[in-house]
Structure formats: structure tokens, C-alpha cells
Structure 1
Amino acid sequence: MTQSKEDIRNKQLKQLKLAENNWEKEQDELILYQKLFMTTEWKNAQNIGITISQAEEIDTKPIILKALLEKKEVYIPKTLPKRKMVFVHLKSEINIKRNNMGILEPVEPYETIEKRMLELLIIPGVAYSKSGDRIGYGGGFYDRYLFNFSGDVIALADRIRYFEKCAWKIEETDIKIPKILSI
């Protein structure tokens, strides 16, 4: 039975909130990090786009630290008016604050990267299907950004986020995720 994205999103967010400080979540994350770091996409990428995670998301701090240790360049999203988004170079001198949606993002001054220069984008979400369908947080920022994106795209799906079959209605503007690493 197909459900609305909003219904699934709400159910997922409740489940993810309950699992925030759960050992199983941390264990899943360690497995997902290992899988990510073994991919050719990770090994070949010099410029990586990734969010600064919230508590209910897959923790991205270890990924960011690993990228920096490997001398990769890390870029984090900055939302703009009209549901647009750019990626900003994460440097030690950059200021990061919560926006009006509660998301940690850079404040000016900052340096952006052209979309075509990002080689790997690690996509956040609350649900992913085996076939590459995704439910994000409802703003459509990533679907818009992924339109005409030429770099590699990977999502990390722990046990809660992974669906064997898509259980939600697919919208015309949804962009499939080509590679989903799961448990």
C-alpha cells in the first residue's frame, strides 16, 4: 500500500527521534562509514558535499573528519531563498549557526563551489528504497540541486531508513539516488 511522503516522513522522524542515542544506530553508522570509505566514489573524490548532521540523522562528523584527514575538501550546504542551495567550503574560520529551520549552516562571508566541481555528494534523508527513491525533510532542496548534477551521489541508510520496496508516492520532481549504502 502506497502512503503519502508526509505520512512516512512523520513516522520516520518519530522512529529516528527514539533511536537518537541508541547503540544499534551507532553500530549501523560504523558499518556505513566503512562501506562508504571503501567505495571508488569516495576514493576518487577530492571535493565532497555533505551536511552537518542533526541528532536524528546519520552522524556526519566522522565522515567530515576522515575527509579532512585524507586532505579532501569538504563543502556544506547553505540554503538560499526560493528553495535553492549552494555548497560552502568548510574551513576552520567559517562561522556556523542554526538557520530558521534549525539546520546548522555557514553564515557569510564564505566561499562557494560551482556545482560541476563537486565530485561526491552525500545526501541526507529519512527514508530510502532499494530502488533509489528518497524521502528528505520536505523542502525539495536536494531534488532541485541534483537536477543536472554530474558528480557521484551516495546516501547512507541505517536499518530504520532502509525500505526494501518504495512505500510512498513518487513525485515527478523526485530524483533517484544512484547508490544507497545500507546495512
Structure 2
Amino acid sequence: MIAKKQLRQNTKKYWKHLSFKQRQAYQKDLMAQLLALPEWQEAKVIAITLPIGGEIDTQPIIDAAKSSNKVIVIPKTLPGKQMVFGILTDKKALKKSAYGILEPGEDAQWVAKETIDLLVVPGLRFARNGQRLGHGGGYYDRYLVDFTGQTVSLAFPEMFVDEPDWEVTTYDLPVNKVLVAKEDEIK
């Protein structure tokens, strides 16, 4: 087993060393895979994070969802490592969290957990069985405890392993699917 902290650092280094061309090709492939899923096509409400430095750029996914008249909701962190999701309308209404992430403001329209059809769960490392290594806050694991919609995560090739190489606890909840960008997408 590799320490979670070390794996998180390794993934962030990997992101920094990806060429623009590699990153673009991987993101294009992941978006195509996601949009082809029946879970995506049937979803009316999709939960996703806004793009943050180094991670997979979710903006094209958000744009595709909006052009398909899907409702996009984004997370807001709360005390006690809890989260709620609010409808993404105008980016000007967003506020920076303590973590430096844009979140819905207090006047956002919040959605009930059971109305979210598909949750795109972020992470740093993923295993074939759906286990994920997140940023370490436990927000998503707590949220997923009673989440009944579908879950999917997106991974660049170096973020995916056959078996978890980190310690998995009973609190670590897997996602339904992990989509992995194909290596051969780079020409």
C-alpha cells in the first residue's frame, strides 16, 4: 500500500507534466465516453464540480449539458464536511470557498439529493472496482452514503489502477463507473 498523501502528490505532479495536447486529447475522449452513457442521456439533473487548476476540465461537459437542456448543479461545502448542491445559473453569483473553489452563493436554488440523476464524482486516483482516492476531506464519501442516483468518475490513464494501491476503509464509497481516457488518443 502506498500512503494516500504520496499518491495525491504523485497525481498532482502527473497533471503538471501532461502536455496541453495530451490533456486536450484525454479530455475530449472522456467527454465523448460520458456523453455516450445511457445514464448521461437519461439524466435531467447532473451534479459536477467546476473546473479547478490541474484537474480534468469540466467546463465542456457543463456546456454540453446546458445545450441538452440538462440542469447542472454544483457543490457547496458546509460545516461538518457536508455538501449541498445548487443550480448553476450565472457564474457571477458564485462565491469562493475557504478552499478557493467557486461555489453557489447563499441565494442559490438548492436541490434535494434525490433529484440528482447523475453525479460526476471527482478524485485523484481510481480503481476498476469504483474505489476512488479523493482530496482527503471525505465530503463525497459522506454525500454518497444515501445517494440513490448514478455515479461516474473521469480519469486520465495514470490515475487508474486495476486494484486500489491505497488503504480502503469502510467509509470509502465506490462510484458506479470509472471512465478512463484511452492512451491511443494521442497522435
TM-score class normalised by the smaller sequence = over 0.9
Alignment of 1:1-183 (within 5 A): 2-19=1-18, 22-92=20-90, 95-183=93-181
State the 1:119 CA deviation: 0.4
What residue in structure 1 maps to residue 185 of structure 2? none
* SS of residue paired to 2:151: strand
1:128 deviates by 0.4
C-alpha distance after superposition, 1:47-80 (max 9, x if no partner): 0000001121111000100000000000000000
Alignment size in residue pairs? 181
Question: Which residue does 2:184 correspond to in 1?
Answer: none
Runs of 4+ in 1 over 4 A off after TM superposition: none
Letter in 2 for 1:118: I
Identity among equivalent pairs (%): 34
Separation in structure 2 between the aligned mates of residue 31 and residue 149 of structure 1, nearest angstrom: 27
Q: Please list every run of 5 or more consecutive structure 1 residues that lacks an aligned counterpart in the other structure.
A: none
* Letter matched to residue 127 of structure 2: S
Letter in 1 for 2:31: Y
Q: Deviations over 1:28-62 (max 9, x none)?
A: 11001000000000000000000001121111000
Note the alpha carbon deviations across 1:110-145, whole angstroms, 9 max, x for none. Answer: 111000110000011111011211011111000000
Question: Structure 2 regions of 5+ residues with no counterpart?
Answer: 182-187
Work out the CA distance in 1 between the residues paired with 2:51 and 2:145.
Answer: 23
User: What is the TM-score of this pair, normalised by structure 2?
Assistant: 0.92
CA deviation after TM superposition for structure 1 residue 179, in Å:
0.4
- TM-score, normalised on structure 1? 0.94
- RMSD value over aligned CA atoms? 1.3
Paired residue secondary structure (1:145): helix
For residues 53 and 162 of structure 2, the distance between their equivalents in structure 1, rounded to whole angstroms, comes to 24
- CA change 1:94–1:115 in 2 (3 A) is farther
Aligned-partner residue type, residue 69 of structure 1: S
